Structure 1
């Protein structure tokens, strides 16, 4: 005879409280555990899609991706906020953040287009001016990457800075920025020294001279000694009647010699880009303004940090 004992287990009902769930996600965010924060924010949105904090949680999810350097995912998350809430402070801030994410990925075109659309579709003067200001800086930031010089990007930057309303020109220190850009245009060699790539290549007829012109003295010495040694070795080979060896050494030397010329020209371009980048960094430091800092009260803050 079998006795069957049936034990009934009464599972306790688990209740998820929205505030506790939010605090749980926030704790991970504060601790820098962004992947876990993302999971908990998503859990919040799953259980409480209509909660008053849903917009904030969507935004914080995007910020967690941003801080986790998952910029593609951050763009998608910020886009959800922007498309769902359109004109709220966090939706506007999300547009600025989308542009920043593209900049982190070195995608200057989409970064600029995002801000253009923001300015076009928004009637608020402060938002438009913020978009113009950041667009101008993107053009300045990308100028140091251009081999043909920064003139075109600087011109575009100036156009956007000039679009800023009279109300906000002082706040963004447009007068100082424009004056600095104009000073460099008029006195480029003094304000921002440049090296001529063509002159660097011409000087490289003497191995290493082009590198020395660009301030790369160690490379200049190596190029001079290496090319000099190969030229001397080729001469000795021919002089001793060893034409085959002389031909091989000459062939090898031609590669090093042409590399010396190309390297010097490339060094001049790099020197100019570095000087342009340094100038932009100095300009940023002297006119430091950060836009769109996050506010726990769902507000958009424009903080000014002027350095004298």
Structure 2
């Protein structure tokens, strides 16, 4: 029924246009259909989807240009737009796949932009070492000079993500110095005021994070071997240490009591339990030390990243172009 209604509507529309007087003009859309033999038609549609933040439909239209017009002279820029849509849509692995070949482009502007988005994609994908390396290269690129402050902040954040808090603090202080250099004078209105609270909080967090130190799992096991619960005392887990000491000590006492009373069942049972608890608390201290080291600085980085995200309104869009 729906197909019949559609066909009837189309036939009536055709009849109306056919019977229209010669002096009456039809609409521009009806008079001029889109020319799908030109890549610009697909590009305009893709750009419209991108403006509406419908990134994946935009990608579909950009890919049509690649497949339908393989000889198009600006094909590299189409790949760049696809990568940018993936980036904006949060699919950073796919974005890197599109940007990577463009980092060797003969077009210097395209090459710079590809490096820029590669660095941003690495950062958002938590590949902080690669991100820091690319941001360092971008800072040396003449095209990146206007964004030197932002790149320095990103490099600092990447180091913090890798838990290199000393390097991160050094770069953050350098970024603050560069920001202050942009201030015209104390008497005039400050430039980039949104950076001031960010630097104040982030440097405070990094100074705290710089003082953090790891705990040796082997020392934790050593102290656990000497005294049940000692490894947890070494790690600052006093409640777990007291429980471990109580369990092992209590079981050992009951095992000894069984031996003294010549109770085979009691002595074997509590000797087995005490041995298991002794080995278990030593292994637990080793695992706890490893976990402590792995999570060391995570809380500080989360707080730092929260401050950084609040700055992104002013920062990210400057480096996204």
Give TM-score, length-normalised by structure 1.
0.62
Gaps of 5+ in 1: 1-13, 301-308
User: Of Structure 1 and Structure 2, which has the larger fraction of its residues in helix?
Assistant: 2
Task: State how far apart, in whole Å, the 2-side matches of 1:124 and 1:100 are.
Answer: 14
State the alpha-carbon separation in 2 of the partners of residues 287 and 114 from structure 1.
21
1:290 paired residue number: 315
2:316 aligned counterpart, secondary structure = strand
Q: Structure 1 residue 142: deviation in Å? A: 2.8
**Which of 169, 185, 208 is the equivalent residue of 1:154?**
169
Residue 65 (1) aligns with residue 77 (2): no
Per-residue CA distance 1:28-87 (angstroms, 9 max, x = gap): 6657572x6434312213444676875653222112333565534322312344443644
Deviation of 1:172 after TM superposition, in Å, equals 7.8
Structure scoring higher RCO (CA < 8 A, sep ≥ 6) equals 1
1:117 aligned residue (122, 126, 137): 137
Aligned partner of 2:275 in structure 1 is: 251
Aligned residue pairs total 267
User: Which of 144, 151, 161 pairs up with 1:131?
Assistant: 151
Displacement of 1:273 in angstroms is 1.6
Say which SS state the counterpart of residue 315 (structure 2) adopts. strand
* Structure 2 residues not aligned, in runs of 5+: 1-34, 184-189
User: Residue 106 of structure 1: SS of its match in structure 2?
Assistant: coil
Give the RMSD, CA atoms, in angstroms: 4.6
Selected match of 1:240 from 250, 258, 282: 258
Establish whether residue 84 from structure 1 lines up as the match of residue 109 from structure 2: no
- Cα distance in 1, alignment partners of residues 131 and 210 from structure 2: 27
1:108 corresponds, among 128, 132, 156, to 128
Give the distance between the partners of 2:40 and 2:311, measured in 1 at CA. Answer: 41
Q: Report if the CA contact (8 A) 1:210-1:261 is conserved.
A: no
TM-score (norm 2): 0.60
Distance 1:164 1:96, change over 3 A: farther
Paired residues for 1:126-275 under 5 Å: 126-143=146-163, 150-159=165-174, 162=177, 166-167=181-182, 170-171=191-192, 179-180=200-201, 183=204, 188=208, 197=215, 206=229, 210=233, 213=236, 220=239, 224-225=242-243, 228-241=246-259, 242=264, 243-266=267-290, 269=293, 272-275=296-299
Deviation per CA, 1:260-281, whole angstroms, max 9, x where unpaired? Answer: 4335545654675244224413
Q: How far apart are residue 99 of structure 1 and its match?
A: 0.9
